[in-house]
A and B are shown apart, each in its own frame.
Chain A
Amino acid sequence: MSKEKTVRARKSGGARTLRARDRARPTGRANPTHRADFLARAWAMEVEAAERYASFADAMDEHNNHDVAELFRKLSRIEQLHADQLLEETLSGRPPVLPPGGVQWDSGEGPETAPHGELHYRMQPYHALQIALACERRANKFFAAYASRTTDAKARKAALEMAAEEAEHAHLIEDWLKRTPQPEKDWEHDPDPPLVSD
């Protein structure tokens, strides 16, 4: 067994086979071509997503929408778990050195990071799951596009595996959505609206 210990990612039962030798050091550039850069970006992507969901949960708690807050907190924990697994299994447990200010993404923010503007103070769990589904789909597209672009065979392999995992996550959320009550038509209606009415 070489030092390049092969590990199998546990993330959602995914079949990601990656090596622990890579000490990832991403640059601030877009479109990295090396596997180490790729892994660091993948880790940063999960961390950013976890942080964003956590901030959404805080915002929802501030506005007494505790059901949605709890769901966002759960999504945050899931993303953080993915990040931790990636770190343990492919990055030797050592967080990669990121550029100052974090990774610069072509899309502005990490593909799996939910945009702030999608929130509404009266949103329901169904809406939160729709946001999460969009994030997983964007992540899937990101990895698939990366795999088709990179010239590094190992990075391509890892990207394809991660694209498959993100697709699996998207399916899980689709199932979750089916079990979640759909919002009523007037879900936005607030009997005590913030707008001045007299």
Chain B
Amino acid sequence: MTSGVATAPATSQAFKSDYKPIWCPGCGDYSVLASITKAFAMLALSPENIAVVSGIGCSSRIPAYTNCYGFHGVHGRALAAGTGLKVARPDLTVLVAGGDGDGYSIGGNHFLHACRRNVDLTYVVMDNHVYGMTKGQPSPTTEPDWDSKLSPGGTGLRTFHPLVIALAAGANFVARAFSGDPNGTAQILAEAIRTPGFSFVEILSPCVTFCPEQREWKNQVRPAPVATTDDPVRAARRIMTDDGFNIGVLYKGERKPYQPSAGKAAKHLADLEAEFLI
């Protein structure tokens, strides 16, 4: 008998709800859901100690498909809700999830400041370079020459670089994963959750309906050829010069997470209500 026997308090199935996803067949988000629940199981977490918070979009439906506490929030405001939740309930594992439109466009400002604040939560962006729910408009990560009926000839705009921006803004953990590698993604997510501070994981998650060419991503991704660094400048240089398909933990720092001390801002509900009385 080999060693290393471990018991699993909960399998990944225990983190899935009875609601059936309505994503398009072939969508990468199915795999991301599998990876997230697998990561929770790997960390031996309990559903009642986890909150999954999202914004709006296809991928933001994900809280309903988990058996954890969930909040399907306002477009672009998932990080604001998640940050507030984590600060109020530091005992919870908070995972914020959404798409590239939600997180980098309308939610771009929250993204910057969530990185800067470095609250101990994990932000997962399922990046498919398109607004899928609203029928295929270009998003901040859409390639400038992506030709579609809604953007004839392409937008001509340079793409957003979320990983570098996260680094510049102070994220403590930066990784890129691919939905087609659910186990690898689960390991990255587990490490992200385990790492104190703001962890940002961008998951390339193909939209097979509006960007069928993204089915080719499985042939383009590769493990990052370099080890994780704790030097943000080196990490930024690497990310800016790669082709967007290097997978792995690209930066892991040691910044202390932001957590206001308990009691400092605490007030009784009646006191708070009194402040709003006219």
Q: Do A and B actually bind?
A: yes
**A108: chain B residues within 8 A (beta carbon):** 180-184
Contacting A197 at CB < 8 Å: which of B4, B25, B149, B218?
Answer: B149
**A63: chain B residues within 8 A (beta carbon):** 24-25
B residues sitting closer than 8 Å to A (CB atoms) are 1-9, 11-13, 20-28, 30-31, 34, 38-39, 41-44, 135-136, 148-150, 179-184, 186, 190, 206, 208-210, 215, 218
CB-CB under 8 A for A59 and B25, given A194-B135, A195-B135: yes
B136 contacts A195, CB within 8 Å? yes
- Residues 49-76 of A, flagged 1 when their CB comes within 8 A of B and 0 if not, give 0010001101111110100000000000
Q: What are 13 A-B interface contacts by the 8 Å CB criterion?
A: A25-B2, A28-B6, A34-B2, A36-B1, A37-B2, A63-B24, A100-B42, A101-B41, A108-B180, A117-B180, A120-B208, A195-B210, A196-B135
A residues sitting closer than 8 Å to B (CB atoms) are 25-29, 32-34, 36-37, 51, 55-56, 58-63, 65, 97-102, 104-105, 108-109, 115-121, 123, 194-197
When chains A and B are docked, how far (Å) is the Cα of A195 from the Cα of B13? Answer: 34
Contacting A59 at CB < 8 Å: which of B5, B21, B181?
Answer: B21
B8 contacts A105, CB within 8 Å? no
CB-CB under 8 A for A121 and B24, given A36-B1, A195-B210: yes
When chains A and B are docked, how far (Å) is the Cα of A75 from the Cα of B24? Answer: 20
Report A139 CB to chain B, min CB distance, Å: 17
A101 contacts B23, CB within 8 Å? no
A100 contacts B183, CB within 8 Å? no
Give the residue name and chain of the A residue nearest to B135 (CB).
Answer: A196
Residue from A37, A98, A102, A119 with most neighbouring chain B CB atoms (10 Å): A102
A62 contacts B22, CB within 8 Å? yes
Report A34 CB to chain B, min CB distance, Å: 5
**A26: chain B residues within 8 A (beta carbon):** 2
Residue from A56, A60, A61, A104 with most neighbouring chain B CB atoms (10 Å): A104
When chains A and B are docked, how far (Å) is the Cα of A195 from the Cα of B2? Answer: 53
CB-CB under 8 A for A97 and B7, given A51-B13, A58-B20: yes
Residue from A55, A98, A100, A196 with most neighbouring chain B CB atoms (10 Å): A100
Give the residue name and chain of the A residue nearest to B184 (CB).
Answer: A108
A101 contacts B135, CB within 8 Å? no
When chains A and B are docked, how far (Å) is the Cα of A109 from the Cα of B218? Answer: 14
